[in-house]
Amino acid sequence: MAEATPPRGKMRFRRNAASFPGNLHLILVLRPTSFLQRTFTDIGFRFSQEDFMLKLPVVMLSSVSDLLTYIDDKQLTPELGGTLQYCHSEWIIFRNAIESFALTVKDMAQVLQSFGTELAETDLPEDIPSIEEILTIRAEKYHLLKNDITAVTKKGKILLTNLEVPDPEEAISSRFDHHEQIGGDWQTVNKLLTQVHDMEIAFDEFWEKHQLKMKQYLQLWKFEQDFQEIEVVHECLEKSSGPSSSLNNNNTLDVLKNHVLNELIQTEKIYVRELFTVLLGYKAEMDNPEMFDLMPPLLRNKKDVLFGNMAEIYEFHSNLFMSSLENCMDAPERVGLCFLERKTDFQMYAKYCQNKPRSEAIWKKYSECAFFQECQRKLKHRLGLDSYLLKPVQRLTKYQLLLKELLKYSKDCEGSEQLKVALDTMLDLLKSVNDSMHQIAINGYLGNLNELGKMIMQGAFSVWTGHKKGATKMKDFARFKPMQRHLFLYEKAIVFCKRRVESGEGSGRYPSYSFKRSLKMDEVGITEYVKGDKRKFEIWYAGKEEIYIVQASNMDVKMIWLKEIRNILLKQQELLTEQQQRNQLTEQDQLSSQQNDERQQQAFAVPNITKPEHTSTVVGVQEATSTVQEGANTVWTEEISEGREPWLNNYFSSSYVDDGEEKTLLAGEKSKQKKRRPDSGEQSEDLNR
């Protein structure tokens, strides 16, 4: 407190007591140093002591050294013997800056809220140009708001840094001492910065979802427009009549076919050009020393992951595929062949898609850095890099749509069969890419999943599991709550996984699985129908006596899986039969060779009995051959029931008897059954055997 006479001091104490009730506990009064002033002060306090104390203890101090016994010198200014560097004008400047920053943060929150409300409440247009225009305007406004947020954050960090700057003497102290000296102003600014950061994250998440919905809305309108154009043409075809109607039909189909072909070629050119701009305007710039200052150091080493094998895709389309399509302009019947000749090259898309989750993770981490913003500004792109990194995936989907349209207008025309094969090839590629995306998400499998052969299909199921022990019935296993499992069917195994639930932005876009168990297909059997639900079927493991009741989401999924499993088991049985026949023929050849050697030796020793022994040998070979053929046929005739294919029972049972126990053959015993046709009492063997 500044120097004051007793009356003035009394008034100041009263004002402080009224402003801070309950916070004043002690009053320290430093007496003047001159004799006259000290005498006058003592007399004044003596006559007004009762009014001055205000029910608070007052301590009279004779010197500054006495003041230091009550207050640390770090809390006192130099004129009072302390070391605290305090300037009231600077304090006022800081307080104004903090209050201004707090007001700016509040205004920013209101602006973001208004922008979100505007996006949510504004009616969307119903024509493609207007939708594209409003999407562009909103994207520009989003980037402006992002720049405002960045500016506010920068302002807050500068203010926070000024509050943290230590004095030269304080720089020697430890970090803990330094943090203890941070005042309430620093805490206030830090909280405001935290609020800005949280607002930015929420704003980005909101914009990402809104932008995705807008793009989907635009694609829907484009699809509807294409559909309306086709519908108009079909109406014209229906209205056509007279002798020339057939000719008009053919001409119209040719026009439609050429329209689709032209769209395929023109969009291919646009696609190649977009890939080129991304590789030149982004990827190449990452090696430009002039751009290093705008790029985080860790990002420079992530170039190959961010762009994947986009350069390889560009080279393929630019140098080979685009020219092949252009050659089809005057020969639409060659489009199918164009795809078929390059079908192995399209496998590079699988590699690109498998890398996509890693690429998106890098983009989300560094998307706001100045490097990408500067590249986008130079290229004059309306959309960010992430939209262009999605182009190869979108292009792969576009191919099969265009091939479908071409095939629709090319029925019974030259090249239609090749178009159909090309369409099937692209659909298989899409399925293969999708399956591979799921396969790379499997964690915990000890070994190489590629050694299990080709992935046939994959999907989610409810699974009950149990082990057969004694007379325990299968219905006892179905009492428990099912496990949710994702099954992968390979040529050599069925893999059970659990889908992991992960939190965070974009976690639901790509799957993640934990490996649980795998069953070798050469030891697997199936039961088609299980009591309780038509969607259920059984997968059982012969050697380990393991049983899995699997419930599909619907009957169609169940039947598709059963069909594929049957095909795999049938192929295995055919291979097993062929192997057995080859082994038996090899044994016969060896036996025949030995017998021929014996006959030759005996022919020299006893010539007169050669003919009878030769006849006996031929009969023996014929009998052995008959036995082999009978053994081979036995595999196909075991437990054949009326109305069922001969091979069916070797792999699965399609019935569930009343006592609740399965009547099936164990898959592990396929090659061990007795070579005989069972009677009616033996056609259903218990699974417990």
For a pLDDT cut of 70, what percent of the chain falls above it? 69
Contact status, residue 295 vs residue 286, Cβ threshold 8 Å: yes
φ and ψ of 551, to 5 deg: -115, 120
Q: How confident is the model at residue 274, as a pLDDT?
A: 93
DSSP 677: -
Cross-strand bridge partners of residue 686? 663
CA distance 375 to 307: 15
Q: What is the mean pLDDT of residues 183-207?
A: 83
Q: Which residue has the higher pLDDT, 222 or 268?
A: 268
pLDDT of residue 563: 92
Q: Give me the residue label for tokens 């046929």.
A: 633
Centroid of chain to Cα 92 = 52
pLDDT at 14 (0 to 100): 61
Q: Just give the CATH number of 451-566.
A: 2.30.29.30
> Is residue 326 classed as helix, strand or coil in its secondary structure?
helix
What is the pLDDT at residue 193? 86
The pLDDT assigned to 48 comes to 55
Please tell me the pTM assigned to this model.
Answer: 0.50
DSSP state of 284: G
279 in Cβ contact with 314 (< 8 Å): yes
Distance between CA atoms of residues 545 and 519, nearest Å: 12
Distance CA 98, CA 186 (A): 9
Q: What is the pLDDT of residue 37?
A: 61
Task: Look at residues 482, 475, 463 and name the one whose alpha carbon lies nearest to residue 687.
Answer: 475
Task: Give the tokens for residue 517.
Answer: 């168990």
Q: Which of 71-80, 192-201, 301-310 has the highest mean pLDDT?
A: 301-310
Residue 485 predicted with pLDDT over 70:
yes
Model confidence band, residue 248 (pLDDT cutoffs 50, 70, 90)? low
At residue 126 the predicted structure's pLDDT band, cuts being 50, 70 and 90, is confident
How far is residue 617's CA from residue 596's CA, in Å, rounded to a whole number? Answer: 9
> pLDDT over 90 for what percent of the chain?
22
Whole-angstrom distance, CA of residue 440 vs CA of residue 4: 80
Average pLDDT, stretch 383-396?
A: 91
Residue 230 reports pLDDT greater than 70 = no
Segments making up each domain of the chain, as ranges: 6-80, 88-167+183-202, 240-439, 451-566, 567-682
pLDDT at residue 92, as a whole number: 79
Report d(CA 97, CA 371) in Å as an integer: 31
Q: In the prediction, which pLDDT does 31 show?
A: 67
Burial class (CB in 10 A: 0-12, 13-18, 19+), 164: middle
Mean pLDDT of 25-32: 72
The H or E element containing residue 411 is none
Token representation of residue 101: 């920053």
Tokens read off for 340: 């078929």
**Confidence label for 182 from pLDDT (cuts 50, 70 and 90):** very low
Residue pair 634/675 in contact (Cβ under 8 Å)? The answer is yes
- The answer to whether the CB of 282 falls within 8 A of the CB of 383 is no
- Using alpha carbons, list the distances in angstroms from residue 30 to 43, 58, 85, 211, 649: 15, 11, 21, 68, 108
Lowest model confidence (mean pLDDT) among 54-63, 167-176, 187-196: 167-176
d(CA 539, CA 495): 12
Mean of pLDDT values over 396-402: 91
Average pLDDT over residues 326-353: 90
Which pLDDT band holds residue 529 (cuts at 50, 70, 90)? confident
pLDDT reported for residue 500: 85
- Residue 101, SS3 per DSSP: helix
What's the pLDDT at 34?
63
Q: Does domain 240-439 have CATH number 3.10.450.50?
A: no
pLDDT digits (tens, 9 = 90+) for 439-448: 888 889 988 8
Q: Over the chain, what is the mean pLDDT?
A: 75
Task: Give dist(CA 20, CA 28) in Å, integer.
Answer: 17
Over 90: is that where the pLDDT of 372 sits? yes
Residue 420 has a pLDDT of 92
Whether the per-residue pLDDT at 547 is higher than 50: the answer is: yes
- The answer to whether the CB of 30 falls within 8 A of the CB of 67 is yes
Angle at 520 between CA 535 and CA 522, to 5 degrees: 95
| pLDDT tens profile 36-59 | 666 666 666 655 555 544 556 777
State the pLDDT at residue 232.
64
Q: What is the largest CA-CA distance in the chain?
A: 163
Does the pLDDT of residue 513 top 70, yes or no? yes
Pairwise CA distance, residues 214 & 618, whole Å: 82
Tell me, what's the pLDDT at 462? 93
Question: What average pLDDT score do residues 529-538 get?
Answer: 87
Q: Average pLDDT, stretch 367-386?
A: 90
Residue 558 has a pLDDT of 92
Which pLDDT score is estimated for 267? 92
Per-residue pLDDT, 38: 61
Q: Would the pLDDT of 314 be above 90?
A: yes
Region 279-289: mean pLDDT is: 93
**Higher-pLDDT residue of 128, 621:** 128
* pLDDT at position 615: 37
Contact (Cβ atoms closer than 8 angstroms) between residue 373 and residue 228 = no
Q: Which pLDDT score is estimated for 433? A: 86
Average pLDDT over residues 281-289: 92
The answer on pLDDT for 175 being more than 50 is no
Reported confidence tier of residue 13, pLDDT bands at 50, 70, 90: low
Helices (H), 331-390: 335-341, 348-366, 370-379, 385-389
If you average pLDDT over residues 393-421, what whole number do you get?
88
**How many residues in the chain?**
689
* Average pLDDT of span 635-647: 33
Which range of 372-376, 430-434, 615-619 scores highest in mean pLDDT? It is 372-376
For domain 88-167+183-202, is the CATH number 1.20.58.60?
Answer: yes
- Give the whole-angstrom CA distance, residue 263 versus residue 256: 11
Stretch 139-143: mean pLDDT = 86
Spatial contact of 320 and 403, defined as CB atoms under 8 Å apart: no
108 pLDDT above the threshold of 60: yes
Of 131 and 498, the one with more pLDDT: 498
Q: Between 587 and 62, whose confidence is greater?
A: 587
Q: Residue 291 pLDDT > 70, yes or no?
A: yes
Q: What residues contact 632, with CB distance under 8 A and at least 6 apart?
A: 577, 580, 581
pLDDT of the residue at 630: 39
Buried b (16+ CB within 10 A) or exposed e, 326-357: eebeeebbbbbbbbeebeeebebbbebbbbbb
Write out the two tokens for 26. Answer: 């002690």
